[in-house]
Amino acid sequence: MHTEHHDRWFKDRGNQNLILDYPLTENSWVVELGGYEGLWTEKITKLYNCNVIVVEPIPQFSNILTERFKNNPKVHIVNNAITAERRKVTLNIDGDGTSETLISSERQITINSITLEDIIVHFQLNRIDLIQMNIEGEEFNLLPALIESKLLTKCNDIHIQFHNTNPSCPTKREFIQQGLRDLGFELSWNYEFVWESRRKKLKIINTNPNSNVCN
């Protein structure tokens, strides 16, 4: 559904500017949930030479990603779905709109899912500099679990595409946004149900021993 927020996104050249504007370096770790064919991954690695873990459940797209980044050892392709807990996931195949719940299709695939904690453990991550999330509705299940577990506190920036597919989605989104605020993530920018980005606040540490200010 095209909205005024899409118009503003295109006017502001969000796809060219905002989705790449993060404080990353060659030592940064990025987790992309929903890699599709790897266009964003290619842009972000060319710009920052960062490490990227791409989680893509559809073998067709996972194979494209593997071929596309076969000469870049800093890009890691994970052919699994991402969910709040490990389980079998049946996905309806529809290109970049492939989803467990958003569409119904005769073309389906059943695949194992993993969790963000699995990724953190496997790659021995002490931090995640950026999570990009475009998982076709699963964000409404995954994000509350990540907020409750506080795993997101390992992350600095979160870049989310929420999907507005039924009347309950705005309320669910508001609930998630409040949870992110409670974890200390401030809004960087927002194009409603297009893309939005949040950054973890830095704690101000008081180094003056004579001060009574608590931070």
Q: Residue type at 69? A: F
Answer whether residue 141 shows pLDDT above 90.
Answer: yes
Question: With the C-alpha atoms ordered 39, 118, 88, 140, is the resulting torsion angle positive or negative?
Answer: negative
Please report, in angstroms and rounded to a whole number, the separation of the first and last CA atoms in the chain.
44
Answer whether residue 107 shows pLDDT above 90.
Answer: no
DSSP character at residue 150: T
Instruction: Work out the average pLDDT over 83-91.
Output: 90
Mean pLDDT of the chain: 89
Q: What percent of the chain has pLDDT over 70?
A: 87
Q: Which CATH superfamily is domain 4-200 in?
A: Vaccinia Virus protein VP39 (3.40.50.150)
Token code pair at residue 107: 């073309």
In this predicted model, what pLDDT tens digit does every residue of 14-40 receive, in sequence order? 999 899 999 999 999 999 999 999 999
Answer whether residue 157 shows pLDDT above 60.
Answer: yes
pTM, two decimal places: 0.87
3-state secondary structure of 103: coil
φ/ψ of residue 80, rounded to 5: -145, 160
- From CA 76, how far away is CA 33, in angstroms rounded? 12
pLDDT confidence of 201, banded at 50, 70, 90? very high
**105 or 18, greater pLDDT:** 18
